[in-house]
Structure 1
Amino acid sequence: MAEARSVAVALLTAATFLTGCERGVSNGPAVSPTGPSGCPSAEARARAAVTRAEKTDVPWNGPTSGPPAVSGKTIVYVAQTMTNPGVAGVAKGMREAARVIGWNVRVIDGQGTPAGIQAALSAAVALKPSGIVIGGFDPGATSQQVSRATAAGIPLIGWHAVAAPGPSAKPALFTNITTHVDDVAAISAHWVVSHAHGNAGVVLFTDASIPFARHKSELIRKGLAACPGVRQLAYENIPIPDASSRTPREVSSLLSRFSSRWTYSVAINDLYFADAAPAFRAAGQKGSGPPFNIGAGDGDPSAFQRINSGQYQAATVPEPLSQQGWQILDEFNRAFAGRPASGYVAPVHISTAANSAGATAWDPSGYREAYRKIWGK
């Protein structure tokens, strides 16, 4: 019964904080300067999870068998926006893998707007390629184009296109490549709880226009709510295409409102901290924090540079972007051979200055060799 009451309290706290998320508006409950003290049990669980996720000597646990490479394929990667470092990182990985497997990859940039994404996907379908990648946007917003691709027999693979990894019936995707959003959200919240020893004032940055991102941020809020000592100060809804212009202004406002009560930040994408850095610097905040900032997704090179140099970001939960680019081509190869999707989902990882060894990406070992062997290359 005590556990049930604790869960109920956590859910009530999350529900209270979830009230209202209008575009560009900060929302949150009234903030206590002190708040409850800690959460020993939750902190212990968080610390154990973070320790596992920070390991770097993890062997390849993906596919080791599959159909040999077919030849002469052209894949079009429709990007939500190439200004999103995660989207761009996957495209880079696909191009690298394409040189190995012997295919052509073309990128069409949707420029981050609904009209631009629809036009980009229409152009992709008109090219009649072997396959199309839905790169970081909701296929529901391009249902007509998706239907045309399906009718033309063009297989579709998503990257962060829907919330869950694996095949999707509606929308019709051969598979969707992403880490488990639940795991990414949970480990981000765990990092805050563990690093803060159960006492923090947190601001969350998200793009609620992207269903995947909004779902992730809601899960993060629920994870943070499990620790009574973690106060959720504000929820900043800033669309990714607007981040460079709006984030500095919002950060300045948040610093004015919360001052030293703001000790941690979580963002659904690292790029928010690139845009926040000038405002932190102008306000005289130390690059090493507080606030201590963690990006719950992507892990682009600039994020690693900020982390390694102690400049307004302490950690990231990086996607293995290059590996996912290789996986996309392997999944297409399985589709062309009439095989099912591999079902592989990369495990979550946390990168910090202590474990990144100066790297500018999370690039786990073993996948290049494994895919070359599968493809016969």
Structure 2
Amino acid sequence: MHPNRQTALGLTVAVAVVAAALVGCERGTSTGGGSSAPGPTTAGCPAVLAGAQAAVQRAMKTNPAWHGPTRGPRAVPGKSIVYVAQTMTNPGVAGAAKGVREAARALGWNVRVIDGQGTPAGIQAAFSQALALQPSGIVIGGFDPKLTSQQVAKANARHIPLIGWHAVDSPGPSKDPELFSNITTRVRNVAKISADWVITHAHGHAGVVVFTDASIPFARNKSELIKKGLATCDGVRLLAEENIPIPDTSSRTPQQVSSLLSRFRDRWTYSVAINDVYFADAAPALRAAGKKGAGAPFNIGAGDGDPSAFQRINSRQFQAATVPEPLSQQGWQILDEFNRAFSGEPPSGYVAPVHISTAANSGGATTWDPPGYRAAYLNIWGK
């Protein structure tokens, strides 16, 4: 997940503690809720559990039918695209850029990636460099366009189409900032399926810790939605919500995990994080406490599903699941949306459905790359 969701970016209480759990956290703080020992067999919310199980089963499918666009304009020749990346060390940003490059080869377009190095000054400089190249279109790759409002205004004035990847909260066109389209899954769907997975895996009984970054509105919204989803099951208790800014995860998470283990011991059975990175940093503390990699707390990342998350999942080392973005597919969609913009047509309106990856359905892969989209786009483009 990139920082603006990171994206996304961007978890759950019984009825008796809903009001307390939904109170926002201050930066770097923890909130606690009620707790109960999980019951291994009896469901705490039979109707909710049944719905969650059905949703998880759908999201676990590895060969879904293509429900994206099948019609559109033929490829416009000779276009040049600049992908301004928040930072290429972010696996989500890099994965989408890889998809853009692959699609550009199929279209015969030129693509240049400029790395913003993860700082406001670096991103602004990268965007200014992109404008100087006078490209046909610019990708806002994983950062808030407000960071580059002057450059965005210049691009709009020059009628250079802008397409975001996780640039704003919602998929599709944006008026403020002015984007032809923004490519992302719907945060409410990511939040809901994360909660559904916990309810399903726990058979309706869980003690949950939520990891979020309240300094990022997208992430804070995602964690609130996850909490609301988990709160629909009476057998789920929010033990704590840990507010750890993403830049501080490596220094803060191990200490917080040790504290959580001391406070809740075996009552802590599940975790949901707005980004997989929290579990990379939690693993050493869990291991030091004698926890088993394939045991509780069972962890799910409501993030991008980067390769390291898949590696932890596949090796059953302190992460059980992730809700990954189809990064390569989204790269292809970005170029299809540009082709529509260049042809004077509206955006496709397509939003990829959510998916859950676990060791049981990943097949050892380190990304989520659904079938069907390459053939569909090549057919649209006449390639």
Judging changes above 3 Å, is the alpha-carbon distance between structure 1 residues 46 and 158 closer, same or farther for their aligned structure 2 residues?
A: same
Three-state SS of the structure 2 residue aligned to 1:348 is: coil
Q: Is the 8 A contact 2:14 2:235 kept in 1?
A: no
* 1:131-170 matched pairs, under 5 angstroms: 131-170=137-176
Work out the number of aligned pairs and report it.
368
Three-state SS of the structure 2 residue aligned to 1:305 is: helix
Aligned match of 1:23:
27
Aligned match of 1:98:
104
Identity among equivalent pairs (%): 76
Three-state SS of the structure 2 residue aligned to 1:133 is: strand
**How far, CA to CA, are the matches of 1:80 and 1:243 in structure 2?**
18
**1:299, distance to aligned residue in structure 2 (A):** 1.4
The one of 69, 72, 76 equivalent to 1:66 is 72
Q: Is the 8 A contact 2:136 2:161 kept in 1?
A: yes
Query: Match of 2:75, as an amino acid?
Result: A
Q: Is the 8 A contact 1:35 1:231 kept in 2?
A: no
Judging changes above 3 Å, is the alpha-carbon distance between structure 1 residues 243 and 338 closer, same or farther for their aligned structure 2 residues?
A: same
Three-state SS of the structure 1 residue aligned to 2:242 is: strand
Q: Is the 8 A contact 1:78 1:109 kept in 2?
A: yes
Judging changes above 3 Å, is the alpha-carbon distance between structure 1 residues 16 and 334 closer, same or farther for their aligned structure 2 residues?
A: same
| Alpha-carbon displacement from aligned partner over 1:95-125 (angstroms, at most 9, x marks no partner) | 1112211222222233333333333333323
Three-state SS of the structure 1 residue aligned to 2:88 is: coil
**How far, CA to CA, are the matches of 2:244 and 2:117 in structure 1?**
16
The one of 83, 93, 112 equivalent to 1:87 is 93
**1:321, distance to aligned residue in structure 2 (A):** 0.6
**1:12, distance to aligned residue in structure 2 (A):** 7.4
Judging changes above 3 Å, is the alpha-carbon distance between structure 1 residues 237 and 144 closer, same or farther for their aligned structure 2 residues?
A: farther
* 1:209-248 matched pairs, under 5 angstroms: 209-248=215-254
1:181 aligns with 2:179: no
Q: Is the 8 A contact 1:84 1:271 kept in 2?
A: no
Judging changes above 3 Å, is the alpha-carbon distance between structure 1 residues 10 and 253 closer, same or farther for their aligned structure 2 residues?
A: closer
1:126 aligns with 2:129: no
Q: Is the 8 A contact 1:84 1:240 kept in 2?
A: no
The one of 346, 355, 360 equivalent to 1:340 is 346
**1:35, distance to aligned residue in structure 2 (A):** 8.4
Aligned match of 1:3:
none
Q: Which moved more, 1:84-93 or 1:33-42?
A: 33-42
TM-score normalised by the chain length of structure 1 = 0.91
**1:80, distance to aligned residue in structure 2 (A):** 2.4
Q: Which runs of 5+ in 1 are unaligned?
A: 1-8
Query: Match of 1:28, as an amino acid?
Result: G
Judging changes above 3 Å, is the alpha-carbon distance between structure 1 residues 223 and 241 closer, same or farther for their aligned structure 2 residues?
A: same
Q: Which runs of 5+ in 2 are unaligned?
A: 1-12
The one of 367, 372, 375 equivalent to 1:366 is 372
Query: Match of 1:18, as an amino acid?
Result: L
Three-state SS of the structure 1 residue aligned to 2:67 is: coil
Aligned match of 2:9:
none
Aligned match of 1:4:
none
**How far, CA to CA, are the matches of 2:38 and 2:57 in structure 1?**
27
* 1:45-56 matched pairs, under 5 angstroms: 45-56=51-62
**How far, CA to CA, are the matches of 1:209 and 1:83 in structure 2?**
21
**How far, CA to CA, are the matches of 1:92 and 1:119 in structure 2?**
22
**How far, CA to CA, are the matches of 2:120 and 2:261 in structure 1?**
32
Query: Match of 2:137, as an amino acid?
Result: G
Q: Which moved more, 1:149-158 or 1:338-347?
A: 149-158
**1:14, distance to aligned residue in structure 2 (A):** 3.6
Judging changes above 3 Å, is the alpha-carbon distance between structure 1 residues 54 and 289 closer, same or farther for their aligned structure 2 residues?
A: same
| Alpha-carbon displacement from aligned partner over 1:267-314 (angstroms, at most 9, x marks no partner) | 122222122222222222100020101111211222112111111111
**How far, CA to CA, are the matches of 2:64 and 2:150 in structure 1?**
42
The one of 267, 271, 286 equivalent to 1:265 is 271
**1:193, distance to aligned residue in structure 2 (A):** 0.7
Aligned match of 1:255:
261
Q: Is the 8 A contact 2:38 2:207 kept in 1?
A: no
Q: Is the 8 A contact 2:38 2:206 kept in 1?
A: no
